[in-house]
Structure 1
């Protein structure tokens, strides 16, 4: 028994501390200087939202600008078989990059095309005016996967959110109607139940989970348990506990509670179903998330109804856009922050 206790104690010691984790994450979110280098601008781009925190991007710097390229080694083939989320994630990073460059006297324009290897090009020159509120929100934004306080968002702020997320080629449907939120909840629970019943989905999700602070720091990616409001655990114990507690009933109860505590839901629907428009949906989503952060709101993805293909028509009809493919779904409201997700160093995602 003494030996067993010693092994358990050693495991706890080796899991690292939240203090070390928070310090490591804070370094990736430090403010930009007035004249940042390209790697720091790219660091701000990598703070964007992305599926499973896979960070599926690479960056190539040239005299003309910065390319954001898909990193297909970071595909999540079960939950995202057509790389929809991957390209939406590129759009999120592209929007961060454009806002950061615009705020630091490097304005430019974003474009998408096959000539960019399926990625996004930020070309220096021209561009929209600086957006200081969105820029300041970049290092503060997080997908806060916890309960909110149920407080309503005023109409003025809802209008501000809609205006910020206005990207040509993408429709945003905002709802704060409780009956409609409950109908979205039913789709989320149906999707969640289907996904948890899929052993391949669960294996893929589990591969991207990070249970200890040390594990999350070393990988610099993935879904850290503390960032979802769950306890940090030794890396060896986490998978065991996950298998014991990750059940549809408990997860559905959590999502139902979180949706009941949310002020509203945002659904992003691109006007075409192709990679360019998936990027545009990501850009609109990122702008919404940054504006929400600037207004003191939290947000989190509830993408089950778009990840389970059979549920997409129901969601499209619910938001008044039948025949279209919904791209991304977020809940939003007021709540407490959780630990930020880790990011890989900018140098590790820049192509030489």
Structure 2
């Protein structure tokens, strides 16, 4: 299959043909894998039981340079759990999400029968994407902001929506400071390059990583893509692009945890996923600008500038109206399943 065929087969709702309980559980996992993850590493594994699905961190897919404390990894588990929970309800199961911090930690989704409910957030799952492009600058209505605020708020996690130009410029200052540090860091560049899939065939074969076309770059053979990346990925050009994209946005969302621990990171992921799905349902794009929360030397000053006391700024997201971008890909469900014995 070519790239377009793979995308159509992947980013879709099910056809309703789930003949038995086992097939239904695998369908829930398929929806879960459509969640976002840092560098699209898909840093999760799934263990199936009769009345539960457990989401485990796949530590072989860590990104230790950009995410040294695995914060984004656990956020990704929360995103997957939220998708799974929404899909479960649509298929007639209530999903209760809990986090067990023992060992590497795990997210458990207990399942019980309920009346099926197809929500707008569930409907939006196949359409959601991180739109890494310029937006059109048009404002978001108060009603839309209220819906985004409600979707992005959770247990011990709050969301701050910034739409005033001065507030956006204040955040942008820290984004550019941190972005400059990352682009200037050779280890960061090497890690990022490892996860870029430069061409269609490479993206299809891997089923993971950041597809070049999703980031606005042309598809190329890997040898050429690597050369272009190493030649053109420079602080000045990248900061100019980031500044232009942020200034084209209608606003910025900052997700804030009351406590800096894995349970709250997972909850932040669930909150972000609801926010992103609600935005998608409203025709609003979003993309991460997480640089100031990824760089440990910048994060405290960024938190102070936002008036955050005693919590952690988890995620920074720009939003606005814009065009859809080429889609990232996913590995098949079978690739992320683990047996009860091996897990």
TM-score normalised to structure 2 length:
0.94
CA separation of 1:137/1:68 partners in 2, compared to 1, >3 Å: closer, same or farther? same
| Offset at residue 108 of structure 1 (A) | 1.9
Question: In the aligned structure 1, how far is the partner of 2:179 from the partner of 2:242?
Answer: 9
Question: In the aligned structure 1, how far is the partner of 2:186 from the partner of 2:212?
Answer: 20
The residue matched to 1:77 in structure 2 has which SS? Answer: coil
> Within 5 A, what are the aligned runs for 1:173-322?
173-322=160-309
Question: In the aligned structure 2, how far is the partner of 1:278 from the partner of 1:149?
Answer: 31
User: Of 123, 146, 155, which residue of structure 2 is paired with 1:159?
Assistant: 146
Question: In the aligned structure 1, how far is the partner of 2:321 from the partner of 2:66?
Answer: 29
Contact 2:45 2:57 in 1 (8 A): yes
Question: In the aligned structure 2, how far is the partner of 1:250 from the partner of 1:46?
Answer: 33
The residue matched to 1:327 in structure 2 has which SS? Answer: strand
Output the aligned Cα RMSD: 1.6
CA separation of 1:128/1:143 partners in 2, compared to 1, >3 Å: closer, same or farther? farther
- What does residue 13 of structure 1 align with? none
Contact 1:108 1:128 in 2 (8 A): no
- What does residue 4 of structure 1 align with? none
- What does residue 11 of structure 2 align with? 29
TM-score normalised to structure 1 length:
0.92
Contact 2:265 2:314 in 1 (8 A): yes
| Offset at residue 128 of structure 1 (A) | 10
The residue matched to 2:223 in structure 1 has which SS? Answer: coil
Corresponding position: 1:347 with 2:334: yes
The residue matched to 1:138 in structure 2 has which SS? Answer: helix
CA separation of 1:227/1:128 partners in 2, compared to 1, >3 Å: closer, same or farther? farther
> Within 5 A, what are the aligned runs for 1:57-96?
57-96=44-83
Question: In the aligned structure 1, how far is the partner of 2:320 from the partner of 2:269?
Answer: 20
CA separation of 1:173/1:89 partners in 2, compared to 1, >3 Å: closer, same or farther? same
What whole-Å deviation, never above 9, does each CA across 1:183-216 have from its counterpart, x for those lacking one?
1111111001001111111110110011000000
Structure 2: which 5+ residue stretches go unaligned? Answer: none
Question: In the aligned structure 2, how far is the partner of 1:323 from the partner of 1:122?
Answer: 29
CA separation of 1:146/1:265 partners in 2, compared to 1, >3 Å: closer, same or farther? same
**Higher alpha-carbon deviation: 122-131 or 69-78:** 122-131
What whole-Å deviation, never above 9, does each CA across 1:251-306 have from its counterpart, x for those lacking one?
00000000110000000011111111100000000100000000000000000000
CA separation of 1:129/1:105 partners in 2, compared to 1, >3 Å: closer, same or farther? closer
Question: In the aligned structure 1, how far is the partner of 2:171 from the partner of 2:118?
Answer: 32
Structure 1: which 5+ residue stretches go unaligned? Answer: 1-18
Contact 2:197 2:211 in 1 (8 A): yes
The residue matched to 2:260 in structure 1 has which SS? Answer: coil
Contact 1:29 1:44 in 2 (8 A): no
What whole-Å deviation, never above 9, does each CA across 1:9-31 have from its counterpart, x for those lacking one?
xxxxxxxxxx8112112211221
**Count of aligned pairs:** 334
Question: In the aligned structure 2, how far is the partner of 1:130 from the partner of 1:161?
Answer: 21
The residue matched to 2:329 in structure 1 has which SS? Answer: coil
Question: In the aligned structure 2, how far is the partner of 1:128 from the partner of 1:110?
Answer: 18
Question: In the aligned structure 2, how far is the partner of 1:199 from the partner of 1:86?
Answer: 22
The list of structure 1 runs, each at least 4 consecutive aligned residues, that deviate by more than 4 angstroms after superposition, is: 126-129
Question: In the aligned structure 2, how far is the partner of 1:181 from the partner of 1:107?
Answer: 39
CA separation of 1:315/1:347 partners in 2, compared to 1, >3 Å: closer, same or farther? same
